[in-house]
Structures are given as C-alpha cells and as structure tokens.
Amino acid sequence: MNNPLRRLKYLPWRSLAIIAAMTFAIVTAIELLLLLTLAFLDTNVQSTIVQLVRSILVSGAIGVGIGALAVFLLERIDKRVSINASVLWSLLVCLLVALIIRDFIPIPALLVSTSEIQLVGMILGVFWQGKRYWR
C-alpha cells in the first residue's frame, strides 16, 4: 500500500521556509515603517488609520497580499523549485508557521495578526497568484 505522507518528505521545505521568512521580514519592515509614520501624526488621524486597518475587509486584503508576495518571491528567487499545487500548500504551511513564530516575537503588530480572516486571505493570495501552477 502506498503511503500518501511519503511525498511530504520530497517537498522543498527549506526553500519554502526561507521564502516564508523573507515574506514576513518584508511585511514586518513595512509594518514598522507604518508605525514610525503613525508616531508623527495627530491622534485623531492615528485612530482613524488604526480603525481602518482593523476592519475585516482590509485584514483579508492584507492576507491576500502576504500570500501573493510569498508566491512572487518563490517565482523570482528560487527558480529551482518546480511549483505545483503541493508546493503551494506547503508554502501555506510555512507561512502559517512563520506567522505563529512572528506572534511570539515582541514586535508591535499593526497589520498582521493570527486570525482566520488573514489565514483565508493568505490562502486566496497564494492560489490567486499561483493559479497557473495548480491548473
């Protein structure tokens, strides 16, 4: 009988973990720049921007952007990886692990959080950007 989990061993986990780490490094840098910019704004403007970022639609859009950025980096940086549906799902697992690890690091979070909305957004972003690989 064939073991379905056997194929997991042959996926490019190291490359995908590096791509996920790079994705969240870029997102964290953008987030820190946004927080530094918010420090110079008026408190009314700050509260308006923070309320906008906390909305469900924007939170989902941020997740879509993270997923699309991860696939973009995978296409551009590691050209040795043959991208298919299994690799895209593995990339999602690496992104989720990186997101959980990022939550434990004491960095102030404005854009990224571990929520269902952002997870669904990341799934949509990965498979929207990588649609030519899973069809």
Q: What is the pLDDT of residues 74-109, one digit of tens each?
A: 999 988 888 888 899 999 999 999 999 988 888 877
pLDDT band at 59; cut points 50, 70, 90 = confident
pLDDT band at 45; cut points 50, 70, 90 = confident
What type of residue sits at position 39?
A
Rounded CA-CA distance 102/107 in Å is 8
Rounded CA-CA distance 1/103 in Å is 40
Q: What global pTM score does this model have?
A: 0.87
The arithmetic mean of pLDDT across residues 50-57, rounded, is: 79
Rounded CA-CA distance 4/100 in Å is 26
Q: How many residues does the chain have?
A: 135
